[in-house]
Structure 1
Amino acid sequence: MTEKIEDNTSDPDVRRLAIINAIDLEKDTALSIILDGFSDAYSSVREAAARAIADFPGEYMLIPLLNLLKDRESNVRIAAADTLSECNLTELGNIYKDWINNSDNFVRSSLLRALRSLRIPEVAPYALKGLEDASESVRLESIGVLGYLQIPDHASSLSDIAINDNCADVRRAAIGAVSYVLNPDTLLAALHCLHDHDWQVRAEAATTISKLRPANICDDLLSSLSSEEQWQVTLKLLLAIGNIKCFHGIYEVARKLAHPVSNVRKEAALCLGEIGNPDAIPDLHTVLLDRDPDVRKIAAWSIAKLSTIQEEK
């Protein structure tokens, strides 16, 4: 194998394959081949090196990978970013300050992505600053960092982004990231996002409300359920209504038992059981002959649960 590599070093495909197969070699030999690939003239070789070094994690890989984040070819930059994120090297916490303000958007966002799962509290000020970055990718990764840290004092900043950012993906990430703390700011943001023009933001807002389970929000959820036209959002609203147990909401929920999407009918039947109001039993009987067996099964389960509640009264 070594002779073949030496005889064909002018062929980039051979160099690339040598890097891919380096995992089968002794560590020092493998690292020598892989690290040489970081400065190769061909992007396919540099990309292979950036991915292969993940099999030999260590502090020595950080600077070479960080430098590849500025590579002229996107496939190499992406490979370097993926490896940095996957390896979870705590040593990154010692050097990130030298890179976090880099002028390259991709470098900043990739570094924040790699720092996210390390949960280093000292990164928070940089992530908070990143919420105001002109780059959508930097704002998204900043939200990821703050979401992982779950520091209550950051929830207000995230809530503001969820309401005001001009990018739907950013708003969706921000409203999802505040699901760890219930306060007036996060509740206001969640209610606002229930009416966002982007359906994925509305769905994420419903999911966050389902996790936060705030009191006195049933009327807002039921109003959204009545007007919502996107069935994926309807599913999330039904989940939230069931989790919060909106006792007086059974009639609005029961209307969804006739929804054309079977997953919505199924979630509505489950929601009525979770709410725990026996007055929903007659409506549930109407779907015991539903064409979807899962809907029939869940309706029967909910009827049994509500009948038990009724008998115990």
Structure 2
Amino acid sequence: MPHLSALPDHSLTALPPAIGTLAPRLSDPDPAVRRVAVLQLADLEDEASVPLLLDRLKTDPAPYVRAEAARTLASWEAEDVVPALAAALADPDREVAVAAAQALAELKEPASGAALLPWVTHDDPFVRASAWRGLRELRYAPAFEAAMAALSDAAAPVRREAVTVLGWLKRSEALPALAQATASDADTEVRRAAAGALGLAADASARDALLSALRDNAWQVREEAAQTLGKLKFAEAVPALVDALEDAYWQVRLQAARALGRIGDRRALAPLTVQLGHAISNLRKEAALSLGSLREPAALPALSAAANDADPEVRKAVRIALAQIGHPHGAA
């Protein structure tokens, strides 16, 4: 292993004193010493340490030192950092690859997308999925066509991450493909992610796919579909959401109640009132808030009766709802 002081562009004399003191430890024969030095560089939070950390990521023979360097480099979204982390996704040691993936997931600058996009076609599905995960929040427009193609990837994690990227890109031409993924992908998490991604536009194909997803075999998909229908405020979804208030899973019921409150349709009044007596306090709270959103005086008797609920969060929600409707005893 080369001694760090012999490497180009970051000689010890050019480094800030605190980093210069630590730098020799990065080439110590003991990997534990090198790892501690990486941790100490992380504590300094000085960008001047980036070349040293990149050297450890690329060349250190100890996997746990490379992994620590990858985790530390997550703090800097520099031009040379992103390609190095992307390359580390293919590190033969899983700990290093996972650390690099976690670091890339924290990227925020769209310009970083150029370094990640070539990795979405790598032979290893972990690398492909991790590259898509890193691209997720960047809204990197050139990734659109590749993300559409990745919906047919053999690996479910890759399809799931590609779906999420399409959701962030918010291009309406992706809606038919996302609707198809919501309806028929074999993987529950892909269907769930696709249902969430359909929230990018209030489109008829999105509405129909989400209504169908309310009947999915997996409750996680039904929950996501209810949440997205609420975001899109489809009045046509009210009957299906009312039915979802009787779902076997309270998580689905909660999202259905929230969606009905956001849509604000009077047809939800009686079904939401029933939920004020549910055993799950979170659902009672959501029902109260949604009843307040309806602003229907007809809800006042049921809300007044719930004002003494055993759960303080439910009582607070009831007070908010009463105030929204105009009851004198309501308070935010």
Tell whether 2:194 aligns with 1:174: yes
The equivalent residue for 2:205 is: 185
Tell whether 2:119 aligns with 1:99: yes
CA distance in 1, matches of 2:267, 2:23: 78
1:127/1:142 contact within 8 Å kept:
yes
The equivalent residue for 1:68 is: 88
Pick from 229, 237, 243: which aligns with 1:223? 243
The equivalent residue for 1:124 is: 144
CA distance in 1, matches of 2:110, 2:181: 29
| Aligned partner of residue 299 in structure 2, secondary structure | helix
Residue type of the alignment partner of 1:168: T
Residue type of the alignment partner of 1:112: W
Alignment of 1:1-313 (within 5 A): 1-2=21-22, 5=25, 9-23=28-42, 24=44, 31-32=51-52, 34-225=54-245, 227-306=246-325
CA distance in 1, matches of 2:76, 2:306: 57
Sequence identity percentage: 33
Distance 1:286 1:151, change over 3 A: same
Distance 1:18 1:257, change over 3 A: same
Distance 1:180 1:20, change over 3 A: same
TM-superposed CA distance for 1:285, in Å, is: 3.0
TM-score if structure 1 supplies the norm length? Answer: 0.88
CA distance in 2, matches of 1:27, 1:304: 52
2:116/2:134 contact within 8 Å kept:
no
2:86/2:115 contact within 8 Å kept:
no
Gaps of 5+ in 2: 1-20, 328-332
1:19/1:30 contact within 8 Å kept:
no
Q: Deviations over 1:201-225 (max 9, x none)?
A: 1111111011100123221211221
The alignment of Structure 1 onto Structure 2 pairs a total of residues equal to 307
TM-superposed CA distance for 1:95, in Å, is: 4.2
The equivalent residue for 2:11 is: none
TM-score if structure 2 supplies the norm length? Answer: 0.84
| Aligned partner of residue 172 in structure 1, secondary structure | helix
Q: Deviations over 1:150-179 (max 9, x none)?
A: 011111111111111111111111101111
2:53/2:73 contact within 8 Å kept:
no
| Aligned partner of residue 236 in structure 1, secondary structure | helix
TM-superposed CA distance for 1:37, in Å, is: 4.1
Residue type of the alignment partner of 1:71: D
CA distance in 2, matches of 1:56, 1:291: 49
Residue type of the alignment partner of 1:199: W
2:89/2:100 contact within 8 Å kept:
yes
TM-superposed CA distance for 1:87, in Å, is: 3.6
Q: Deviations over 1:63-103 (max 9, x none)?
A: 33222111111110011122223244545444445433111
Q: CA RMSD in A?
A: 2.5
